[in-house]
Chain A
Amino acid sequence: MKDSIIRGIKFIGLGFLEPLIRLINKEEPKKNTKEVMRKIVAPIASVFIFIGLWQLGSSSLYNKEAAYKIEAATRNQGEEAAAKLKACMESGDSNCQPNTLPSPAQVYAAYQVLLEDHKQISADKKAFAEKTFEMNKKRVAQGKRAITYTGRPSFVDQIKTSLKTVFAGFLLALFIAVPIGIVLGLSKTLRGSINWIIQIFKPVSPVVWLLLVFMIVKTLTKNSDSDSSFIISFISVGLCSMWATLVNTAMGVSSVNTDYINVAKVLRLRPLQKIFKVILPASLPLIFTGLRITLSVAWMVLIAIELLAQSPGLGSFVWEEFQNGAMDSNSKIIVAMFVIGFIGFALDRIMLFIQNLVSFEKETI
């Protein structure tokens, strides 16, 4: 029972809980207490220290900004206005708060606002769907287009859009980079002749990729009404992120252990058999390392690309909040930052999980 639980949590990447489970089962208490301290208590403590430092930093920035505002008011509008402003700030009225790094509490509040907002919007959507259900049925029967909800997307909707974009971009990178990487890995001549393209395009900034893709897609989608901003952003994400997989696949395929290659030769495996039974399995660990880098790069550049391509998603959310300049905009941006971070982390874990599922070598980091 206990062992199977431990195996289970290790499998899904939560191996750090192992000493806690062993401790609960009264197994080697001394050693496991130490392990719990090291693997669970210390990381949690570091989170609190981080929040504490953040609180200190934000309050000192707040004070600086407030002092500056009051001073400016004194200079421009006189003592009375300054006193009023100060009273307003102390009352906590959101209209006169200084605009600076938000504190953890403000960020948490913004998070709840966003959740409320999401509930509100999904309720609206549901109501809208119910209301238009009958009418849409008729419209479809008449061959007209159904009426869809066109209201503002909620924060959660933005996350979903972003995930969709990053997933499409990742798949594009996978289907371009892995086959090309295998071919490059197998042929020294090709590797040598294409190397310059890889070396030149690898360091190109996401922004430039976006512009390049924009130039091409704009022309290609001239006469169709498809969602070109989505197409542009996912293709850019794919192109930016595929290089790590391409390079790693080529390297993995070209550096397969000579013992395995000798076996393939001695058994006289046919070329396809050799690729699928020997070379690919042997280079899977490196291919997956590449895919993991690709996914994290894809998620990282996604924000910048959405921001520029005007395609909906977390990137445009962040940008709109920044432009918006409302009182809790800064807090919402920080919420988005954490959400981006957590999703990036989760995506990497999922990749690790898949890697352990298909690869003969187990990796733990």
Chain B
Amino acid sequence: MAILELRNIYKTYNPTKEDKGEILDNINLSIEEGEFVAIVGFSGSGKTTLVNLINGLLKPTEGEVIFKGKPVEDTSHERGVIFQNYSLLPWLTVYQNIDMAIQEAFPKASKQEKDVRVKEHVEMVGLTHALNKYPKELSGGMRQRVSVARALSMNPEMIIMDEPLGALDALTRGNLQDEILKIWEVNKRTALLITNDVDEAMYMADRIIPLKPGPNATLGPEFKINIERPRNKTALNDNEEYKKTRLEIIEYLMDLGEQQAAKSTSSYELPDLQPKDFRWDAN
């Protein structure tokens, strides 16, 4: 049985107005337990709205989000979220940021158990040396690691990542991809990754689903990535299967982009402007 199901999701921010400004339309998705799914889309295509529908911050205008057989009404500790902009609280240290999540997720645990759990997760992302630092003293990559540790410390059954590596440089990005995969492989939680990077999606996910750009964004056909784990980045480049799928996805996205561009140019009316000569000798 699927752990997460989206059924005919339709989302708009102003349902009563003439210009509805639809964000998402006709979204159907089903994710199996233990699966790693990536949704790839252009910026502005409604990816964050989709994530917020799944984690419970937003409610769909129509349709249903089903998690473990029950409709999603609110946020839950069972779905850990990693935000794009880290969203650490700047007035709390690394320890306190994670401790806050654990306090809420395990209210009955003893003080010592909580302490152990915080330290365990900080160690898991390799930040034990920065335990008592404030977020502003950390680099972007380190902050995102804290955010990962915070999401995982609540022991969620599913991790939702909203462009988690979008704001990082290429090198840090590569490292963090590996780390997230390593952590994921330990207990194979269900994972949903939202990204705009096809290579990142292909390296990490079992299945890639493109999100057609909004308004009225909807999901495109899925692409399966049948490459054995652990994957090796350098070896991937020579893998025929990888090359073929990558080409397919990119062609599909490029086509979408072109269609979008063709649609939008037709509505412009160019102003009637003539160049004028302002040189000295012109008069």
Contact = CB atoms under 8 A, between A and B. Distances in A.
Interface string B159-196: 00000000000000000000000000000000000000
Given A259-B83, A262-B57, A269 B89 contact: no
Interface in A242-285: 259-260, 262-263, 265-270, 273, 277-278, 281-282
B19 interface: no
B21 interface: no
A360 interface: yes
B100 A270 contact: no
A268 B91 contact: no
Contacts of A266: 55, 57, 75, 80-81
B31 interface: no
Contact of A265 (B75, B90, B134): B75
A278 B90 CA distance: 10
Contacts of B92: 277
Nearest to B154: A267
Contacts of B77: 267-268
Contacts of B134: 360
20 contacts: A260-B87, A263-B83, A265-B57, A265-B75, A266-B55, A266-B75, A266-B80, A267-B105, A267-B150, A268-B104, A269-B104, A273-B100, A277-B89, A277-B100, A278-B89, A281-B89, A282-B91, A360-B90, A360-B91, A360-B134
Interface in B70-104: 75-77, 80-81, 83, 85, 87, 89-92, 100-101, 103-104
5 pairs of A and B residues whose beta carbons are closest in the complex: A360-B91, A281-B91, A259-B87, A263-B87, A266-B81
Interface of B: 55-57, 75-77, 80-81, 83, 85, 87, 89-92, 100-101, 103-105, 134, 150, 154
A38 B90 CA distance: 34
Q: Is the interface of A mostly helix, strand, loop or mixed?
A: helix
Contacts of A282: 89, 91
Given A259-B83, A265-B57, A270 B89 contact: no
Q: Which of B80, B91, B92 has the most CB of A within 10 A?
A: B91
A360 B136 CA distance: 10
B123 to A, nearest CB: 21
B97 to A, nearest CB: 9
B225 to A, nearest CB: 28
Nearest to B79: A266
A273 B89 CA distance: 13
A262 B89 CA distance: 11
B102 to A, nearest CB: 10
A110 B178 CA distance: 77
Given A260-B87, A268-B75, 10 more contacts: A259-B85, A259-B87, A266-B75, A267-B77, A267-B104, A270-B104, A278-B89, A281-B89, A282-B91, A360-B91
Contacts of B103: 273
A263 B57 contact: no
Contacts of B89: 260, 263, 277-278, 281-282
B75 A269 contact: no
